[in-house]
Amino acid sequence: MLYREAGQFSSRYADDRRVFRLRQDRLGLALLLVFAFAVVPWLGNDYWFGAILIPFLVLSLAGLGLNLLTGYAGQLSLGSAAFMAVGAFAAYNFELRVPGLPLPASLLLGGLVAALVALLFGLPSLRIKGFYLIVSTLAAQFFVPWALTRFGWFSNYDASGVISAPKLEIFGIDFGTPAGRYLLTLGVVTALFWLGHNLVRSELGRNWMAVRDMDTAAAVIGIPLLKTKLLAFAISGFFLGVAGSLWAFAYLGTVEPHGFDLNRSFQVLFIVIIGGLGSILGNFLGAAFMVLFPLLLSNLAGLLPGGLIDAGQLENLQKIVFGALIVVFLIKEPEGLARLWQRLRERARIWPLRH
Amino acid sequence: MFERSFASRLALALSLGGAAFAAQAGGEQYFPLQSYRVGPYAAGGTGFFGGFIDYLRYVNANGGVNGVKLTWSECETEYVVEKGVECYERLKGGLNGAPAAATNPLSVGIAYATLDRSTADRLPLITINHGRTDSTDGSVFPYAFPLQLNPYSEVSAIVNYIGQQAGGLDRLKGLKIVTLYHGSPYGKETNEVLKTLAEKYGFALTLLEVPHPGNEQQSQWLNIRREKPDWVILRGWGVMNPVALKTAQKVGFPANRIIGNIWSNSEEDAAPAGAAAKGFIAITTHPSGSDFPVLQGIRQEVVDKGQGDLADPKRFGTVYYNLGVVNGILNVEALRIAQEKFGKQPLSGEQVRWGLENLELDDARLAALGAKGLVQPLKLSCSDHEGGGAVRFQQWDGEKWTLISDWVQADRALLRPIIEASSRKYAAEKGIAPRDCAKEA
């Protein structure tokens, strides 16, 4: 009733194959984009941009990067943060050493370098699977920060090894304000999600899913495992690399190698697991959960009268509540928040009837 | 007009920032506290912010700063950079209409990440005894204040002390010094200047990194045993320090040849190492102890009334706690000085910055504050955001710290050109036009 498909006929094959076949979906997406691009910059304040929206968008993108690899191609990885670091440092060095390079080009090149590194660390995936593959990607997680710390060239011999973001300027327009940084992030993230969504519906995406479900069977029907798996690593690395440079440039403004430690990899993995493996929307839901819930709890805790609970204990209580929430969500919906959303849509379709 | 204010109010109401209630408090100055009470560095955070908050309470109990009451709220950072940024954005707008005076994140990583934001928001960023060294040059970093002691001064003073022990700086030639540093921006900050000093004085320098958080140091100390250095400079933080002392004992390196830096100098660093810490030397900008009149005042008017911030009252008067008190004194004195110029009312960050740049504490003023001997005499200016640069050395006797030296001054004249070169490089990278400090005075 609320979500009626009735009356929407496809008269051409192209109509039937489009990404958003339902009018409601197309309209909703368009409205959402208009809201995000035109209304939010006008409504939001520094806190919303700098502390909530930008990290949310960047982590969604990182989630998408890992989801392509783990959710679609079935290759487990714990090296997400390392590839983000590669992207951030590569983009920084391109910006620094190639004068006059426009910012989008540095982001792109940073992503490509991350893709190369990811490809390299993806090589073992041809021989090993599952938990063993995790261990080999874990090597990236230790190797990359070590290399970035060990060789001063990467951080332009900065005394403390911290890189500081270049000026965010594209064709003379300054994106350095909080709203500007938000728009820059939103633009990049929207473009890459568009790419990602189309990618998983392409032949490559279908190959990934075949490999994920059973790689022997996939090989038997003629899917080249080498190419498919390595492309999954490279493309995932590209997305993560761009996310890493956005994290460094648009969000924090500075980055040190240890900002991309194992905890960040776990964070991205949790986003994917909680949001939903093999789902595009799930990345947003997972990132929202991971970014917004702790902030919400912490802000709620801030409203409590001071001195009621010891400040240190209050902090630990929030962690307990957040952990409990994760457990509850996963028990209620093991397939992630994206599945929850899907069920809601099915409900809405037949409402007010129940079956 | 109406629509605009409605929209902004809606945005405010939507904001989780806690500043939703736009009630005008009037006559209050706000301190946004990016504190950390959990995580591996909780000992430092609870002590420092405990002392800071207790001092603010003490000032309030005595009528505030010229009648302006101080208020504050906390936001937990866990010493994690993005949390610190989130807290900065959440708190920077003030509380219930009381404007923010300055941020004190007590974390180099967070300070680095909020440096640009502080400048854009015109809110002073105070990094007492730490921070980015070249931010000492106020002409390039108008809003950053590495008060008392920046990292370069710190190592310079340590090298000067080692020289004193050897019988003169010329005797440094041929000595072997190992620096064991925390693998973070903070830890690495001094490596370059140590190399410069090693070249100048001719001592052999070995730099060894301990990865964060530093609870495994066996291989580093085996290296040290092989090197047989004359001195080890311990540039640690949190749990890394007691582990270093215990491992040193295991490999047979004497504790009285280890010099702890400014973040390896607290009771929490030495005491957990037990007997291994006996004889350990560390620098400090302020002695521990609770005999200073200002601490007695805090005890009477805050702690004894049950309003103290420390969960463990035994930590009253320890190094971290006293650093918090010192930080409180410097913040509040900057407010007081700025109030003389801008009127006795809550001030904006920009006005507080003026107060910090004109901060001058001589012995007479320190005696009036009851902090003589606790805070070193300071004088800041537009070009000098550090102001002090002297440390004293203390030794752990197994239970408490005893001072073993008078004030040892860093060679600030030597460091200044290095700092300026670095800040000029930063200014060129960022496209900042440095202020002309001659005109400011």
DSSP A46: H
Please give, rounded to a whole number of angstroms, the shortest distance from the CA of A165 to a CA of chain B. Answer: 9
CB–CB contact A298 B76 (8 Å): yes
With CA atoms as reference, report the closest residue to B5 among B18, B17, B19, B22: B22
Looking at the predicted structure, is the pLDDT value of residue A322 above 50?
Answer: yes
B392 phi and psi, to 5 degrees? -120, 160
Neighbour tally for A344: CB within 10 Å: 11
B64 and B192 housed in the same domain: no
Chain A residues near any Cβ of chain B (below 8 Å): 42-48, 50-52, 55, 149, 159-162, 164-167, 251-254, 256, 258-259, 295-296, 298-299, 302-303, 306, 310-312, 315-316, 319
Residue with tokens 């440095």: B434
Q: Are residues B129 and B269 in the same domain?
A: no
Q: Tens of pLDDT along A193-225?
A: 999 999 999 999 999 999 999 989 999 999 999
Find out whether B345 and B27 touch, Cβ atoms under 8 Å.
yes
Give me Rg for the CA atoms of chain A.
Answer: 21
Examine residue B429 and state whether it is found in any structural domain, yes or no. Answer: no
Q: Over 80: is that where the pLDDT of B397 sits?
A: yes
Q: Let me know: does B366 contact B375? Beta carbons within 8 Å.
A: yes
Among A39, A151, A162, pick the best mutation site for testing chain B contact (most B Cβ within 10 A).
A162
Q: How many C-beta neighbours within 10 Å does residue A101 have?
A: 15
Question: Does B386 fall in a domain?
Answer: no
CA pair distance B390, B73, nearest whole angstrom: 32
Do B273 and B225 belong to one domain?
yes
pLDDT of B25 > 50? The answer is no
State whether A48 and B189 contact (CB < 8 Å). Answer: no
pLDDT higher than 70, residue B6: no
* Residue B269 and residue B167 share a domain: yes
- With contacts defined as CB-CB under 8 Å, which chain B residues touch A53? none
The Cα diameter of chain B in Å comes to 75
Share of chain A above pLDDT 90, in %: 46
With beta carbons under 8 A apart, name residues in chain A contacting B86: 50-52, 55, 295
- How far apart are the CA of B39 and the nearest CA of chain A, in angstroms? 10
What is the domain-level CATH number for residue B404? 3.40.50.2300
Contact between B113 and A51 using a beta-carbon 8 Å cutoff: no
DSSP strands (E only) in A152-199: 163-164, 169-170, 173-174
> So where are chain A's domains?
45-350
| CA-based nearest residue in chain B for residue A254 | B113
SS3 for chain B is CHHHHHHHHHHHHHCCCCCCCCCCCCCEEEEEEEECCCCCCHHHHHHHHHHHHHHHHHHHHCCCECCEEEEEEEEECCCCHHHHHHHHHHHCCCECCECECCECCCCHHHHHHHHHHHHHHCCCEECCCCCCHHHHECCCCCCEECCCCCHHHHHHHHHHHHHHHHCCHHHHCCCEEEEEEEECHHHHCCHHHHHHHHHHHCCEEEEEEEECCCCCCHHHHHHHHHHCCCEEEEECCCCHHHHHHHHHHHHCCCHHHEEECCCCCCHHHHHHHHHHHCCCEEEECCCCCCCCHHHHHHHHHHHCCCCCCCCCHHHCCCHHHHHHHHHHHHHHHHHHHHHHHHCCCCCCHHHHHHHHHCCEECHHHHHHHCCECCECCEECCCCECCCCCEEEEEEECCCCEEECCCCEECCHHHHHHHHHHHHHHHHHHHCCCCCCHHHHC
Least confident range from A111-120, A316-325, B176-185, B224-233: namely: A316-325
Residue B184 is assigned to a structural domain of this protein: yes
Give B294→chain A minimum CA distance, Å. Answer: 24
* pLDDT of residue A161 exceeding 80: no
Q: Which of A51, A253, A319 sits opposite B90 (nearest CB)?
A: A51
Q: Tell me A172's DSSP state.
A: T
pLDDT tens-place string over residues B263-302: 999 998 999 999 999 999 999 999 888 999 999 999 999 9
CA distance A110 to chain B (A): 20
Number of compact structural domains in chain B: 2
Q: Measured between alpha carbons, how far is residue A199 from residues A31, A62, B344 in Å?
A: 23, 16, 63
- Cβ-nearest to A149 among B93, B132, B183: B183
> What local confidence, expressed as pLDDT, does residue B9 receive?
44
What pLDDT is recorded for position B181? 93
Residue A173 confidence (pLDDT) above 70: yes
Residue of B nearest to A259 (CA): B81
Q: Identify the pLDDT of residue B54.
A: 95
Residues B137 and B52 in one domain: yes
CA distance B337 to B333: 6
Q: How many CB atoms lie within 10 A of CB A64?
A: 33
Tens of pLDDT, residue by residue over A175-196, are 888 899 999 999 999 999 999 9
Is residue A163 classed as helix, strand or coil in its secondary structure?
strand
pTM for this predicted structure: 0.85
A229-243, A292-306, A321-335, B132-146: least confident range? A292-306
Spatial contact of A268 and A66, defined as CB atoms under 8 Å apart = yes
* Domain-embedded: residue B242: yes
Q: What is the pLDDT of residues A2-44, one digit of tens each?
A: 677 777 788 888 888 887 878 888 888 999 999 999 888 888 8
Of B8, B16, B189, the CB nearest to A160: B189
Helix (H) or strand (E) holding A63: helix A54-66
Residue B426 is assigned to a structural domain of this protein: no
- The answer to the question of residue B427 being in a domain is no
Candidates B86, B121, B426; nearest CB to A295: B86
Q: Name the percent of chain A lying above pLDDT 70.
A: 98
Judge if B313 and B375 occupy the same domain: yes
CATH number of this structure's domain A45-350, picked from the four choices 1.10.287, 3.30.70, 1.10.3470, 1.10.10:
1.10.3470
Contact B434, B426 (CB under 8 A): no
Which residues in chain A are contacts of B92 at CB distance < 8 A? 46
CB contact under 8 A, A44 and B11: yes
Q: What are the tens digits of pLDDT across the range B144-201? A: 999 999 999 999 999 999 999 999 899 999 999 999 999 887 888 898 899 999 999 9
* A167, closest residue in chain B (CA to CA): B430
List residues bridging with B74 in a β-sheet: B33
A/B interface, count of CB pairs below 8 Å:
121
* Three-state secondary structure call for residue A173: strand
pLDDT of residue B441: 57
Strands B281-284 and B258-260: parallel
Task: State how far residue A314 is from chain B, nearest Cα, in angstroms.
Answer: 10
Contact A256 B191 (CB under 8 A): no
Q: Are residues B239 and B160 in the same domain?
A: yes
Q: How far apart are CA B96 and CA B84, in angstroms?
A: 21
Please tell me the predicted confidence (pLDDT) of residue B11: 43
Contact A303 B90 (CB under 8 A): no
Crossing angle of the two packed helices A54-66 and A80-97, in degrees rounded to 10: 120
Q: Do A258 and B430 touch (CB under 8 A)?
A: no
Confidence label for B51 from pLDDT (cuts 50, 70 and 90): very high
CB–CB contact A48 B15 (8 Å): yes
Question: Are the beta carbons of A167 and B430 separated by less than 8 Å?
Answer: yes
Q: Is B422 among the domain residues?
A: no
**Cα→Cα distances A67→A239, A242, A283, B10, Å:** 10, 15, 8, 36
Lowest mean pLDDT among A46-50, A237-241, B99-103: A46-50
Report CB contact under 8 Å: B14, A43.
yes
**Cis peptide before A352, with omega less than 30 degrees from 0?**
yes
Given a cut of 70, whether residue A1 has pLDDT beyond it is no
Instruction: Could you list the beta-strand ranges (E) of A171-317.
Output: 173-174, 254-255
The minimal CB distance from A159 to the residues B74, B92, B189 is found for B189
**Which of B46, B89, B183 lies at the smallest CB-CB distance from A47?**
B89
Q: What is the pLDDT of residues B318-370, one digit of tens each?
A: 999 999 999 999 999 999 999 999 999 999 999 999 999 999 999 999 999 99
Which residues of chain A are within 8 Å of residue B108 when distances are taken between CB atoms?
A: 160
Answer whether A44 sits within 8 Å of B86, measured CB to CB: no
A46, A162, A254 member nearest B89 (Cβ): A46
Clarify whether residues B31 and B70 are in a common domain: yes
B222 with B310, same domain? no
Which candidate in B10, B12, B30, B38 is best for mutational testing of the A interface (most A CBs within 10 A)?
Answer: B38
Average pLDDT (B58-63) is 93
pLDDT at residue B8 greater than cutoff 50: no
Name the residue in chain B with its Cα closest to that of A258.
B184
Q: Extract the runs of DSSP E, i.e. beta strands, from chain A.
A: 163-164, 169-170, 173-174, 254-255
> What pLDDT shows up at residue B71?
93
Structure-token pair, residue A248:
């460094």
Q: Examine the domain organization and report whether B301 and B375 are in the same domain.
A: yes
Instruction: Based on the fold, state whether residues B187 and B144 are members of the same structural domain.
Output: no
Which of B212, B216, B217, B159 lies closest to B188 in space, CA to CA?
Answer: B212
Are B160 and B275 contained in the same domain? yes
Contact flag B192-A159 (C-beta cutoff 8 Å): yes
Please give the average per-residue pLDDT across A261-266, as a whole number: 90
- Which one has a higher pLDDT value, A258 or A291? A291
Name the residue range of residue B265's domain.
151-284+392-413
pLDDT of residue B24: 36
Are A312 and B311 an interchain contact pair (Cβ–Cβ within 8 Å)?
A: yes
Torsion angle defined by CA atoms of residues A210, A214, A216 and A219, in that order, rounded to the nearest 10 degrees = 0
Residue B196, pLDDT score: 92
